[in-house]
């Protein structure tokens, strides 16, 4: 391979790499579609009446039977809806005839309203606790 053909190969690689990066950035920038508006009060009631709380906990903290936490910071609405309709593991599925999308929107509004817990420095009893050796 002479110098100029090596240069062409290098250029081709650089071009391919930058194209890939551009594509990656483009897909990272497409935000998931916004969740439909829902009513968090009705959503909390639905979360209880459909039995989500039995496995996910009343504030969606997770743990029972290995069910993960759903809040704070719920996964995108489309992903949540998709999982409810077609779960991949232990969770029972909820068909649209059982759990209409409107109720899922309300449940999503409830999950989105659950605040994150405090960090240790924000809790008075823990604020002096340090993990650093003295």
Q: Which residues bind ligand HEC (CB under 6 A)?
A: 50-52, 54-56, 65-68, 70, 75, 80, 83-84, 87-92, 94, 99, 107
Nearer to ligand HEC by Cβ, of 51 and 121: the residue is 51
The CA distances from residue 84 to 3, 75, 92, 101, 132, in Å, are 59, 12, 8, 10, 43
Nearer to ligand HEC, 82 or 121 (CB): 82
Q: 70 Cβ partners below 8 Å, 6+ apart?
A: 52, 56, 60, 62, 80, 111
Instruction: Report the residue number, 66 or 100, with the smaller CB distance to ligand HEC.
Output: 66
For the chain, what is the radius of gyration of the CA atoms? 23
To ligand HEC, the closest distance from the beta carbon of 59 in angstroms equals 13
Residues 6+ apart with CB under 8 A from 50: 94, 99, 103, 107
Q: Tell me whether residue 105 or residue 115 sits nearer to ligand HEC (CB atom).
A: 105
The CB-nearest residue to ligand HEC is: 89
Residue pointed to by tokens 């059982």:
98
- Minimum CB distance to ligand HEC, residue 130 (Å): 33
């Amino acid at each position: 391979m002479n110098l100029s053909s090596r240069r062409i190969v290098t250029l081709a690689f650089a071009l391919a790499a930058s194209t890939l990066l551009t594509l990656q950035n483009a897909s990272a920038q497409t935000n998931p579609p916004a969740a439909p508006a829902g009513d968090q009060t009705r959503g909390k009631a639905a979360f209880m009446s459909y039995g989500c709380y039995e496995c996910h906990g009343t504030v969606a903290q997770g743990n029972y039977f290995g069910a993960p936490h759903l809040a704070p910071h719920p996964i995108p609405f489309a992903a949540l809806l998709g999982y409810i309709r077609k779960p991949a593991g232990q969770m029972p599925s909820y068909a649209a005839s059982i759990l209409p999308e409107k109720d899922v929107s309300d449940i999503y509004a409830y999950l989105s309203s659950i605040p994150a817990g405090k960090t240790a420095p924000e809790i008075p009893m823990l604020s002096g606790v340090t993990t650093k050796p003295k």
